[in-house]
Chains A and B, each alone.
Chain A
Amino acid sequence: MARFLIPLGVFVALAIVLGVAIKHSPDKENIASPLIGKPTPQFALPDLSEPSKTITTNDLKGHWYVLNVWGTWCVTCRAEHPMLLEAARQGIVPIIGLNWRDDDDEARAWLNKLGNPYALVIVDREGRTAIDLGIYKAPESFLVNPQGVIVYKQVGEITPEVWQKEFVARIKGTTAGKS
């Protein structure tokens, strides 16, 4: 009576699917970005320190850089800030800040008070570039290679471990999954 074995068979298949799902689950916490391996989206945004000046994607090509999305309203960004200062101090790669949906004066005051880890801060007041980058919460950071291709995205704050393992390792070319 083979048909009585069908339920068991279905369950075995299900158990396999669940097993695979568990294996993949650490990756599930954050939404996977479809932008990995693609060029940075085109943008033209004002510089925070000189609002009349516009920075475009092309201006940033030619060397590694980290794009860090932040805002003064973001509590986790505040927690991440010391790590960014430390990373900037190491001088391995410039950190470009993307000030997301914020107020220019408050942003400048924040950086004055807490220290400025950014080589440059561009301002996305309306959030369009953030959407192009697939941002859904702050802080998020992108690692971009000299050809302008996004090689890694970090959702949430950068911790010292993450910095070494995901960012520095890739820049120095010591990670297998570099790009």
Chain B
Amino acid sequence: MLPELGHFALILAMLLAALQGFFGIAGPALGKDRWAAAVTPAVAGQFVMIATAMACLIASFIGNDFSVLYVAENSNSALPLFYRVSALWGAHEGSLLLWIFLLSCWTVAVAIGVARLPRQFAARVLGVLGVVSLGFLLFTLATSNPFLRLDPAAPDGRDLNPLLQDPGLAVHPPILYTGYVGFAVAFAFACAAMLEGRLDQAWARWTRPWTTSAWAFLTVGISLGSWWSYYELGWGGYWFWDPVENASFMPWLVGTALIHSLAVTDKRGLFKSWTLLLAILAFSLSLLGTFLVRSGVLQSVHSFAADPRRGIFILAFLIVMIGGSLTLYAWRAPKLKSQAGFEFGARESFLLFNNILLVIACGTVFAGEMAPMISDALGLGALSVGTPYFNPTFALSMLPLLALLAVGVHANWKRGKLGDHTRVMVITLVVAAVLAIGMIYGIYSHGKILSPVGATLGLWIILTSLVDPIDRWRRKLTLSRAVLGMAVAHIGLGLLVVSLTAVESFTEERDVAMAIGDRASLGGFDFQFRGVSPAEGANYDGQRGTVVVSRAGQQLAVMYPAKRNYWVAKTDTTEAAIEMHGGSNVFVALGEDLGAGKWSLRFQIRPLVNFVWLGAGIMALGGALAASDRRYRTAKQVAAQTAPAAAPGGATPVGAGAE
């Protein structure tokens, strides 16, 4: 009963999405106000239907209804309750439903938020979101229905992939998707502006908080994925340039460029067509990522089960959405010219460099990601691209960006010469360099050629980002959330850079064969192997090792690296033991049983690695702070800005005197 109800709810949702799309776009185009007004009820109705469908699927999982094929493939009666719920997004069909649900949540939020904006524009935004939703619902119902029945019902399920039976990985998809999907809002704003044939600074101000929030979620989502792979996959790595990781990283890079470009459009009315293009590009990359992961064109440990039929459907959807929006762009963008100027050392300049470098970085990742496919399509033979390509090429665009960031935060809008702020820049650079050298040679006593560069850049960014807020605070000036958020986000980035440098430069690793009672040492830590004993869980059995860690004779902790065998899913996982010690991570993983009571163990000392994710989290926090600034939400100001539009010939230039 419930699965059928869920299925029916999805069909209704699809119809409502079609109505939403139609009324939202045709209404304003044809001047039919009643149609435009019908959009909001459609949004609400669609949300109710999709929520119902989600609830039905969750209920099927919790109730262990193995007559539903999706439940039978991804769950098991021995699976703990928490994972029975998170199993919902454990595979293709359910994760698509999650996508659709999150899109609906964003749409409801947008519907509330645009209530104060001009009616026609608001309707168009919601209309575009409706079209996106329609595409996904069509795709789900046609090729990926999670409510398909299994007849006769399976006696029990195949169990959730053990790698996914982990709290970190349970929340990673919802948060990641919230970000991924959130770029649809910027996309919708962009399409609405193109449909209207008008894009001004007010538009940029409306779009900013939505885009920055989506970006913040995506930042957290990607970091969670990285953190999870660090402690789950058993080898201490946190980023592999895996095709699916890249698929989420590319929208992030463009999204970062977008939030900065929006700032310029907001403040100066510049870069309008470029911002438009970035908004289209960010969501297009989200859609492309969705395609790559689900169509079978990628070989990856992440990708869902391959099905060319799905690939064709998504490709058609991509052609409609991306091809359509880019055609609109080619038509409307040429008319968006601004007469504003800025000098070489002005903030606009630095943001221009920021955008160019970020887009180039994204292009580099894109090239590496698509190279196997391009090579294959052009008949150039098989190709495989991994870390040895991505690391140096990515660093090539990132290092200049970091240096420019440290300098650019001081720049003023419109006017600036390079010689401005030299004193502050030099002082902060020198302090950063001294701290960096001290850290590298004082604490760790060795380093690579790039270590001082990375550490200095990271510390320099942190210092320069602190200058302005501290200065304002001392002079008792107001510190808006937008400015504070920017400083916090940049500080987070600086921290991320410093810790990445530390991890990549100073990680020590050792594989040792040990018998019970044997000792090994690494990086100042001593390890004693105390043996292995059986360990059982709800749906697995395995071995649990005991290792005592001490430093300078003092026992620090007892660590329990484990190997698990999930009997239903027939997979083994390695559960590494990780201990934090003064900023570093001590990492112990159980290798193989070498027989005769000996086991191979891997020890790793990873300095500052936790600050990688902390830094990313602080970045996201900065974004959230900035997005919540009052200037985006005050209805009065929005009304003041739309007044000139309603009264032709009004003398108030947009954006002036509004604050």
> Are any A and B Cβ atoms less than 8 Å apart in their complex?
yes
Inter-subunit contact A17/B377 (CB<8 Å):
yes
Q: Which B residues are CB-close (under 8 A) to A75?
A: 570
A64-82 to B contact mask, C-beta < 8 Å, 1/0: 0000000000010000000
* A74 to B391 Cα, complex, angstroms: 37
Q: How large is the interface on B (under 10, 10 to 19, 20 to 34, 35 or more residues)?
A: 20 to 34
Q: How far is the CA of A32 from the CA of B273 in the complex (A)?
A: 45
Nearest A residue to B322, CB-CB: A11
6 shortest interchain CB distances as A-B pairs: A1-B334, A20-B377, A21-B297, A8-B326, A22-B311, A25-B296
- Those of A14-38 within 8 Å (CB) of chain B: 14-26, 28-29, 31-32
Q: Which chain A residues lie closer than 8 Å to B322 at the CB level?
A: 11
Give the docked Cα–Cα distance between A145 and B522 (Å): 54
Interface with A: B33-41, B231-239, B312-320, B424-432, which one? B312-320
Contact: B296 with A28, CB < 8 Å? yes
Closest CB of chain B to A80's CB: distance in Å? 15
The verdict on A7 contacting chain B, using a C-beta distance below 8 Å, is: yes
Q: Return the contact of A17 from the options B298, B308, B374 (Cβ within 8 A).
A: B374
> Which residues does chain A contribute within 8 Å of B298, judged by CB atoms?
28
Binding site for A on B (CB under 8 A): 273, 277, 280-281, 284, 291, 295-299, 306, 308, 311-312, 315, 318-319, 322-323, 326-327, 329-330, 333-334, 370, 373-374, 376-377, 382, 570
Closest CB-CB distance, B92 to chain A, in whole Å? Answer: 15
C-alpha spacing A31/B384, complex, angstroms: 11
- Chain B residues near A17 (CB, 8 Å)? 370, 373-374, 377
Contact B296 A12 (CB under 8 A): no
Please state if A20 and B323 are interface contacts (CB–CB under 8 Å): no
**Shortest CB distance A105–B (Å):** 15
Question: B residues within 8 A CB of A16?
Answer: 377
Name which residue of chain A comes closest to B334, CB basis.
A1
A4 touches which one: B291, B297, B312, B334 (CB < 8 A)? Answer: B334
* Contact of A5 with B by CB under 8 A: yes
By beta carbon, the residue of chain A nearest B384 is: A31
What is the chain A residue whose CB lies nearest that of B375?
A: A17
Q: How far is the CB of B309 from chain A (nearest CB, A)?
A: 9
Q: Are B315 and A18 in contact (CB under 8 A)?
A: yes
Specify which chain A residues have a CB less than 8 angstroms from the CB of B299 in the assembled complex. 28, 31
Query: Complex: how many Å from CA A170 to CA B117?
Result: 69
**Smallest distance from the beta carbon of A136 to chain B beta carbons, Å?**
12
**CA–CA, A55 to B376, complex, Å?**
39
B330 contacts A22, C-beta separation under 8 Å: no
Residue pair B306, A25 in contact (C-beta under 8 Å): yes
Given A4-B273, A4-B333, do A18 and B373 touch, yes or no (CB 8 Å)?
yes
Question: Closest residue to B315 on the A side, CB-wise?
Answer: A18
Q: How far is the CB of A2 from chain B (nearest CB, A)?
A: 9
- A residues in contact with B370, CB < 8 Å: 14, 17
* Residues A21 and B377 in contact in the complex (CB < 8 Å), given A11-B322, A28-B297, A75-B570: yes
Contact of B308 among A1, A7, A8, A26 (CB under 8 A): A26
- CB atoms of B570 and A15 under 8 A apart: no
**Which of the listed residues B306, B308, B327, B377 has the most CB atoms from chain A within 10 Å of its own CB?**
B377
9 A-B pairs whose Cβ atoms sit less than 8 Å apart in the complex: A4-B333, A7-B277, A17-B373, A18-B297, A18-B311, A21-B373, A22-B297, A25-B306, A26-B306
